[in-house]
């Protein structure tokens, strides 16, 4: 899937007549100003097969064509690492991140990250791109991570994320028996005092909403489904601690590591609208083996 010009097309409707192409792209399709600036460089905008300017005004029935071509130098080094692909097209890449892998390089993890793996994969395909993950999950959380393959896709998905149109579903095992069948945790989260890592429910934190549903109750634990309305750092982990039901294995937040040596949390489903077609996309990551083993242990009340 080498870098080739990507053509985005739209047939103007009656309500578009008299509008500048710039205005249509900006307000109707939420193109960012940064992307529009790129479109001004070279002949990248056509109407009915002829070059035009973004400031020209459109007419009903015209075919507006945009060349989205982003051949970019990688911003991190690529490495030949395993990569569990869930979905890929010209705009997005979705992977199943394993436990123990960091999503993006940082001062503590310079290599062996998901970013290094993705760039290495693209380089082997002859592609030159920046690494643009739409969201991050913790090093010891497994599951779906979605990466934009160009600036346009990243901007479109970021716009959906800001407006709550990206839907993320997690599965996790918490300590103790959660009595409510379902509910919403609406507690702000901020950095815990005397910590650079841990988050804590506190009044002056950022707004955070987590919806949960009980899937199964064990004698001393509960299997839950989580749906995030916001995406704060460690949101599920901090909210579970605040409820008095920390995730199993999550020793940073008071979870018991006896049965599993990582937080028992999996990013299972990621649903959004495709950045180019607008059609629904649902990405699912299979349930990991270590959580299947945990499920069997809980059945026999080993806690």
Within 10 Å of residue 1's Cβ, how many Cβ atoms? 12
Residue 300: Cβ within 10 Å count: 9
- 3-state helix/strand/coil string of 124-175: HCCCCCCCEECCCCCCCCEEEEEEECCHHHHHHHHHHHHCCCCEEEEEEEEE
Which contiguous run of DSSP H or E holds residue 293?
helix 289-299
Among this protein's residues, is 138 annotated catalytic? yes
Cα dist from 149 to 1, 197, 222, 235, 244, whole Å: 11, 29, 38, 27, 40
> Which DSSP letter does residue 289 get?
H
- The C-alpha atoms of residue 166 and residue 228 are separated, in whole angstroms, by 9
Give the phi and the psi of residue 45 in degrees, each rounded to 5. -125, 125
DSSP 8-class letter at 92:
E
- Phi then psi for 157, rounded to 5 degrees? -75, -35
Q: Which residue in the list 80, 84, 89, 138 is annotated as catalytic?
A: 138
Residues annotated as part of the active site: 138
């Amino acid at each position: 899937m080498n870098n080739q010009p990507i053509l985005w097309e739209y047939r103007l409707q009656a309500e578009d007549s008299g509008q500048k192409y710039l205005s249509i792209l900006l307000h109707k399709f939420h193109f960012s100003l940064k992307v529009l600036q790129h479109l001004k460089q070279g002949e990248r905008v056509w109407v009915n097969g002829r070059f035009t300017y973004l400031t020209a005004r459109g007419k009903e029935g015209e075919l507006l064509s945009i060349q989205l071509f982003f051949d970019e130098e990688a911003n991190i080094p690529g490495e030949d690492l395993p990569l569990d692909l869930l979905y890929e097209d010209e705009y997005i890449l979705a992977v199943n991140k394993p436990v123990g892998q960091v999503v993006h390089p940082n001062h503590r993890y310079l290599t062996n990250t998901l970013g290094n793996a993705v760039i290495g994969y693209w380089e082997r395909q002859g592609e030159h791109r920046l690494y643009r993950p739409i969201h991050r999950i913790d090093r010891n959380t497994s599951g779906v991570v979605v990466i934009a393959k160009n600036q346009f896709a990243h901007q479109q998905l970021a716009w959906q994320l800001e407006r709550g149109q990206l839907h993320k579903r997690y599965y996790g095992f918490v300590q103790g028996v959660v009595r409510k069948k379902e509910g919403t945790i609406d507690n702000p989260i901020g950095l815990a005092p005397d910590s650079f890592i841990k988050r804590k429910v506190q009044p002056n934190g950022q707004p955070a909403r987590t919806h949960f549903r009980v899937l199964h109750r064990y004698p001393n634990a509960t299997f839950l489904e989580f749906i995030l309305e916001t995406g704060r750092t460690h949101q599920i982990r901090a909210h579970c601690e605040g409820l008095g039901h920390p995730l199993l294995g999550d020793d940073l937040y008071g979870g018991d590591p006896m049965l599993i040596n990582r937080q028992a949390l999996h990013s299972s489903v990621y649903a959004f609208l495709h950045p180019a077609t607008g059609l629904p996309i649902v990405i699912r990551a299979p349930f990991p083996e270590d959580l299947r083993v945990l499920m069997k242990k809980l059945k026999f009340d080993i806690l």
